[in-house]
Structure 1
Amino acid sequence: MSSGNDLTARARIRDAAIALFTERGIAGATIRDIAQAAGVSSGLLRHHFGSKEGLRDACDEFAMGQIAQIQMRFTESQAVGALAPEAMALQQYLVRSLMDGSPRGSAMFAQAVEHGERWLATTHLEASDPRAYAAVLGAMKMGMFLMRDQLSAVLGEDVGEVPGYLRMIRASVEIFAQPLLTPEQAGQTLKELDRLGDSLTGDERSWRMPSMSKD
Structure 2
Amino acid sequence: MSSQSDLTARARIRDAAIELFADRGIEGATIRDIAQKAGVSSGLLRHHFGSKEGLRDACDEYVLSELIGIGNRFIEFQTVDAITPGILRMQRYITRSVLDGSPAGSALFDRLIEYGERWFDTSDVKSADPKAFIAVLSVMKMSMLTSRDLLTRILGVDTGEPEGWARVLKASLEIFSTPLITTDQADLARGALDRLHTPEE
TM over 0.5: yes
RMSD (Å), alpha carbons: 2.1
- Aligned-pair distance for 1:195? 1.5
Residue in structure 2 matched with residue 69 of structure 1 by the alignment: 69
Residue in structure 2 matched with residue 127 of structure 1 by the alignment: 127
Please tell me whether the aligned partners of residues 26 and 97 of structure 2 are also in contact (alpha carbons under 8 angstroms): yes
Tell me how far apart the structure 1 counterparts of residues 104 and 195 of structure 2 sit (CA, whole Å).
38
In the alignment, structure 1 residue 143 sits paired with structure 2 residue 143: yes
Gaps of 5+ in 2: none
Residue in structure 1 matched with residue 33 of structure 2 by the alignment: 33
Gaps of 5+ in 1: 202-215
Q: How many pairs were matched up?
A: 199
Please tell me whether the aligned partners of residues 74 and 81 of structure 1 are also in contact (alpha carbons under 8 angstroms): no
**CA offsets, 1:174-204, max 9 Å, x none?**
2122322322222221111111221479xxx
Q: Under a length normalisation based on structure 2, what TM-score does the superposition of the two structures give?
A: 0.90
Residue in structure 2 matched with residue 173 of structure 1 by the alignment: 173
Tell me how far apart the structure 2 counterparts of residues 146 and 71 of structure 1 sit (CA, whole Å).
24
Cα 1:148–1:133 change in 2 (3 A) is same
Residue in structure 2 matched with residue 88 of structure 1 by the alignment: 88
* Residue aligned with 2:197, SS: helix
Please tell me whether the aligned partners of residues 12 and 38 of structure 2 are also in contact (alpha carbons under 8 angstroms): yes
Please tell me whether the aligned partners of residues 74 and 80 of structure 1 are also in contact (alpha carbons under 8 angstroms): no
Residue in structure 2 matched with residue 116 of structure 1 by the alignment: 116
Please tell me whether the aligned partners of residues 35 and 42 of structure 1 are also in contact (alpha carbons under 8 angstroms): yes
Following TM superposition, the consecutive aligned residue runs of length 4 or more in structure 1 with deviations greater than 3 angstroms are none
- Aligned-pair distance for 1:66? 1.0
Considering Cα pairs closer than 8 Å and 6+ residues apart, tell me whether 1 or 2 has the greater RCO.
2
The letter for the 2-side match of 1:150 is: L
- Aligned-pair distance for 1:28? 2.0
- Aligned-pair distance for 1:144? 0.4
Tell me how far apart the structure 1 counterparts of residues 191 and 177 of structure 2 sit (CA, whole Å).
25
Greater shift, 191-200 or 16-25, is seen at: 191-200
Tell me how far apart the structure 1 counterparts of residues 192 and 129 of structure 2 sit (CA, whole Å).
17
Q: Percent identity?
A: 56
The letter for the 2-side match of 1:197 is: H
